[in-house]
Chains A and B, each alone.
Chain A
Amino acid sequence: MELVAGKKTKQKQKELLNISGSEAVLKAMIAEKVDTIFGYPGGAIMPIYDALYDYNDKLKHILVRHEQGAIHAAQGYARTSGKVGVVFATSGPGATNLVTGLADAMIDSTAVVCITGQVYAHLLGTDAFQETDVINITTPITKWNYQVTDATEIPSVLAKAFYIAKSGRPGPVVIDITKNAQLQKFDYAGYEKSDHIRSYRPKPIVRKEYIEEAAKLINAAEKPFVIFGQGVILGKAEKEFKKFIEKAGIPAAWTILGMSAIPTNHPLAVGMLGMHGNYGPNVLTNECDVLIAVGMRFDDRVTGRLDKYAKQAKVIHLDIDPAEIDKNVKTTVPVWGDCKETLPMLTELIVQKVYPQWLQRFRDFQKKEEETCIIPELNPTDETLTMGEVIKLLNELTKGDAVIVTDVGQHQMVACRYAKFNQTKSNITSGGLGTMGFALPASIGAKFGAPDRTVVAIIGDGGFQMTIQELGTIMQSKVEVKLIILNNQFLGMVRQWQQLFHDKRYSFVDITSPDFIMVAKGYYIDGCRVSKREDLKNSLKEMLDHKGSYLLEVMVGKENNVFPMVPQGCSVAEIRLK
């Protein structure tokens, strides 16, 4: 029986199917186990959408309201699922609307494949209707891009696209397909996944001597400090990382994108790094003797002033991208490689240790931070609501199991400072690019990527209005996301800077908003507005218990500031508590 079956498939393989380029695109999606596509049709991608009509049962397509929404949704999907997010968009404006999301995915290393339609190949360069030079527009903001003008290229190019997007340091890929290639019939020989490109080395070769050197430094350290980024999550190395810090006994702090790689209540977790991070990790960066950076890229929001950053420390840098080593901070020992491989090698060579006194230093700083910043934020004594108390109650109600998607600004910093997480891939935010308008569409994608989890988007009144049209996507797709607007009636972060560094000259930060609840009602999304403390917990509960999506608008203090803060151009040790 088996033999016969085997023969049959072999015979099938020999028979070449005559299909269109469009159908080959969709066959590639199925072969890559894509289950959800975020997109928007248009003239130059119509043949693919026409083919999609017949694939409706195999591929879920989410119709967004703007292509930027599609790519942010794909990013949210990629970040919660660990898979590749897929976007379909048309040529010209469809493709240019992807630009912000591509730049965001590039800087935050998110695996996304965007298929854009393009005008007929013979019209390229003629300023045809809806023609733009998508390849050249997207070159600096894609890991790879390619224009297909002949259908026979489609299977191999898409295989490459998926492989490049997800392997090594992930990133966005754009495949621009001319309309003639979408329509062209060709003999399709099947789809073969790619796992190798001759000029592409996604993972550098691990050098054992560096691991040994790193272990020696760690074993001899008296005040070692681990800082980690999204590399731990992207490398699916959460377990390996936890084992490493637990054996080494080293306190660990996260970057904004590294957050949730270990539970926030882990005994060695000491908080968030950077401009609005925690007091201890920032100050003690400039006191530790060995700084071990895992899967992070020393962004300027983390390091503050570079020439005063960890100058006393020996630096060990584990990263999969060789271009990150020595880019911003000079390393003593570079550990090139995938941290899923290098961390266990390192763990093996290090001595089991604890540093009670050193860890206590972090706790002491935390106490100071609690007194001046945390307690007033989480347990305010006056009437106005704070952003922090919303997050605190949300933590209580979700018990740290929700995916939290944040936009950009004060609410983002407060949410990332106070949110509790038990599991990985839970903190979805626009880190590197700081894209306002990210959260609403990203939360839609995040839910499709993790359908069994509660997804809560926390958004400011400014950012919400940047992609507000995606409420329509929620309405139509019936995806269940919980939206919280923390409304301070200001573009809060800019206002904070204007207050602190521009003599309170509030230049165009006073933003008015529509009645968000009414707007949501218009999209058939339920919601309510809260401005009193006694109603807050119940409304949050109602939001979480509500069947379907829900919008909760919380009116918070207008001129609250986020502290601590490392002022721009200052050393991390100069972090201000007020």
Chain B
Amino acid sequence: MSKQEYTITVYTENQVGLLNRIAIIFSRRKINIESLNTSPSEIDSVHRFTIVINETEDVVRKLCRQIEKQVEVLKAYYNTNEEIVWQELAMYKVPTDIIAEKVKVERLLREYGARAVAIRKDYTVFETSGHREEIDGLIKALEPYGLIEFVRSARVAIIKTSHGFHEKLKEFEYREPSEEVIENEYLNDNEKIFSM
């Protein structure tokens, strides 16, 4: 079995420390996480992790079972790139004067579907979203024109055949609403707290 890119989608409770619990399942096996994103899901209170790794299917299946074993995990899926619709977002900071001067840059940005999100006297920030190759293509193209800063987000992905699970999740949350997360509310009140 050969390695390929898999996107793992994990539905979880919103719980302090869960990110670590999930991350160490990978690091324990010395598997590099290519990208990791946590976000709310379509259901209030249910969180969603999107993790990208390069592995064989056998390993990914085992990883998903280990993830599902965690008390606060509802479900873990793994998908190949064909089974998902996915996007990454990137931002590029380039000197404004160069863009203003060179028509070629403007054409380039248009070609890649980039949008300007901030324009200052000294620099301009563009944003683009798409697959990894598209984003990387623009970095290469911009490099000669003095790319000052670049950042790419983790992958977010929608599973093409997720309808069934969505219905289950809705019913699940309806039957048993989640509990509120308790965070450390004392952290900023140290003067008010008595200590020995």
Contact = CB atoms under 8 A, between A and B. Distances in A.
Given A122-B190, A199-B74, A149 B185 contact: yes
Contacts of B30: none
A1 interface: no
Which 7 A-B pairs rank lowest in CB-CB distance, beginning with the nearest? A121-B186, A122-B190, A323-B65, A122-B186, A198-B176, A144-B71, A200-B71
A153 B176 contact: no
B182 interface: yes
Given A199-B74, A322-B69, 14 more contacts: A120-B186, A120-B195, A123-B195, A139-B21, A140-B28, A144-B71, A149-B185, A164-B71, A198-B176, A199-B71, A322-B65, A323-B65, A323-B68, A327-B62
25 contacts: A120-B186, A121-B184, A121-B187, A122-B188, A123-B190, A123-B195, A135-B17, A136-B17, A136-B20, A140-B28, A143-B71, A145-B17, A150-B185, A153-B182, A164-B71, A179-B195, A180-B186, A197-B71, A198-B172, A198-B176, A199-B12, A199-B71, A323-B66, A323-B68, A327-B62
Instruction: Identify whether the interface residues of A are mostly helix, strand, loop, or mixed.
Output: mixed
Interface residues of B, number: 31
A121 B13 CA distance: 23
Nearest to A43: B196
Contacts of B178: 198
A125 B184 CA distance: 11
Interface string A100-114: 000000000000000
Instruction: Identify whether the interface residues of B are mostly helix, strand, loop, or mixed.
Output: loop
A124 interface: yes
A199 B68 CA distance: 9
A322 B184 CA distance: 35
Interface string B19-44: 01100100010000000000000000
A461 interface: no
Most buried by B among A120, A125, A143, A178: A120
A238 interface: no
A321 interface: yes
Contacts of B74: 199
A123 B187 CA distance: 7
Interface in A315-338: 321-323, 325-327
Interface in A124-151: 124-125, 135-136, 139-140, 143-147, 149-150
B89 to A, nearest CB: 29
A122 B193 CA distance: 8
B187 A122 contact: yes
Contacts of A200: 71-72
